[in-house]
Structure 1
Amino acid sequence: MSQTKLENFNQYFQIEEAVKVNLEVIKPEQVPSNALILEQRIPPLFKLANDVNELEQSALRPLRQLSDVAEELAAFLRAQSRKIDLIMSHILLIENDCENKIMTHSYGGGGIIVNSSDDYPLDQNFCCKIFLDFDAAAVYCFAQLIKSELCNDTNTFQHTLLFTQIRSSDQELLVRASLHAQTRLLKLQAKNKNNN
């Protein structure tokens, strides 16, 4: 395993949360050689979902600087946005290939970690479709296996996949989603602590 690849992976925060991902084994020559080719290969539904997500973020940002009245407007807009998110999540199910579906162990801006009964060689390339249900978004990208460990207790492999081709906006989306997941986890822990 290349130390540089692992360092690139570790540059970003990872959150242990299970999200759906489709992994398709591909040959090295199938990985897009540049951002333009990647952009052309992204399915339209992935672009639509992420454009909707970005519009929501940019629309709510200016309201944070207004008075209390804006808080009620922001709550209304968040409710409307949530409706759209639910519809987008349903539409994205079309892209979720059941044959290649797996759940992540963790994810972040640098890549994903998955557990699998399949043993892959180091440097194996994958086409990835990552589905973020809570954020009603999906990411289409490419990754490479940089680390693999046998989990003796479950007789499965834990694979670390580094993103090799991903749009910067999608990488930002994954970073934001991982931070939102961390916030949800902290709120849940605080609630459980208060209940005890």
Structure 2
Amino acid sequence: MFPDTNPYFSVPHPFTAYLSLWDENQPLPSEMALRSMQSLGIQLLSEVKALEASCLLQLRHLDNEAKVVVDFLKLQSRKVDLVLQHVLEKEVQEGDKYQGCQFGGSGIRLLSTAALPLGRHVKVTLFIHDELVAILCFAKVTACMLSQEVQSDAQQVRLDNASLQYLVDLEFSQILDADVEQLVKASLNVQQKQLKQRKLARDERQ
């Protein structure tokens, strides 16, 4: 999917993305500018996730008797995340809506009814619903393939349009470090869930 120099692996998993072409005559935004472009919902979710990660890291040093407290706090934090995600879903998103089928810390793969121009940068708003991930970043179109493989890959997601024929690969060109970390954690979680599902399927067949 991505170049051999890609330091992160990617996993097949459905998600939603909104893309808009970036003006070729404009430089990519700086990290500070990228932060200022985030919607209120994305900003809140990012801040909450950062606080959660910091608190849970400190709680790991507590003894086993604190496990109940940790589990309770995780439950509460998930409730907050779900509420914030609901707020995000109500926001009006800029750009065209696409279905994603694969993601990782270095880039994403999308399904599209039309080819996207190679080498162009696009602004991406990315939502991975069940992993509670919502980020704003920029990516470069590195591949756009009209292939029969679309059908086999597309079976991993619920398609809204059976005529999807293009696989589009995008490599992140401007993304916050914290968002890369979110994607890496999400890809690991998805991989673990997939491995468990495969193991259960094998056990059921035996």
Deviations 1:30-76 (A, max 9, x none): 45342222222222221111111121121112222322211111111
Q: Which has the higher helix share?
A: 1
RMSD across aligned positions (CA)? 2.1
Question: What SS is found at the alignment partner of 2:8?
Answer: coil
In the other structure, the counterpart of 2:91 is 95
> What aligned pairs does 1:43-62 form with structure 2 within 5 A after superposition?
43-62=39-58
Distance 1:168 1:98 in 2: 23
- How far off is 1:152 after superposition? 3.1
- How far off is 1:26 after superposition? 2.4
- How far off is 1:163 after superposition? 0.7
> What aligned pairs does 1:58-137 form with structure 2 within 5 A after superposition?
58-95=54-91, 97=93, 100-137=96-133
Distance 2:95 2:170 in 1: 19
Point out the more displaced range, 91-100 or 48-57. Answer: 91-100
Residues 27 and 6 of structure 1: is their aligned pair in 2 closer, same or farther, counting only changes over 3 Å? farther
Paired residue type of 1:133: H
From 3, 6, 14, the equivalent of 2:3 is 6
From 111, 126, 145, the equivalent of 1:149 is 145
Residues 98 and 127 of structure 1: is their aligned pair in 2 closer, same or farther, counting only changes over 3 Å? closer
Paired residue type of 1:178: S
Residues 102 and 141 of structure 1: is their aligned pair in 2 closer, same or farther, counting only changes over 3 Å? same
Q: Is the 8 A contact 1:104 1:113 kept in 2?
A: yes
Point out the more displaced range, 182-191 or 90-99. Answer: 90-99
Tell me if 1:168 matches 2:177: yes
Paired residue type of 1:137: V
Q: Which ranges of structure 2 fall in alignment gaps of 5 or more residues? A: 152-163
Question: What SS is found at the alignment partner of 2:67?
Answer: helix
Paired residue type of 2:3: L
Distance 2:90 2:187 in 1: 24
Residues 118 and 131 of structure 1: is their aligned pair in 2 closer, same or farther, counting only changes over 3 Å? same
Distance 1:104 1:42 in 2: 20
Deviations 1:97-116 (A, max 9, x none): 39722221101111101111
- How far off is 1:162 after superposition? 0.7
Q: Is the 8 A contact 1:107 1:113 kept in 2?
A: yes
- How far off is 1:122 after superposition? 0.8
In the other structure, the counterpart of 2:155 is none
Residues 33 and 93 of structure 1: is their aligned pair in 2 closer, same or farther, counting only changes over 3 Å? closer
Q: Is the 8 A contact 1:144 1:163 kept in 2?
A: yes
**Number of equivalenced pairs:** 191
Distance 2:194 2:92 in 1: 26
Distance 1:37 1:194 in 2: 51
Tell me if 1:192 matches 2:201: yes
Residues 193 and 66 of structure 1: is their aligned pair in 2 closer, same or farther, counting only changes over 3 Å? farther
In the other structure, the counterpart of 1:41 is 37
Seq. identity, %: 29
Q: Which ranges of structure 1 fall in alignment gaps of 5 or more residues? A: none
Residues 99 and 146 of structure 1: is their aligned pair in 2 closer, same or farther, counting only changes over 3 Å? closer
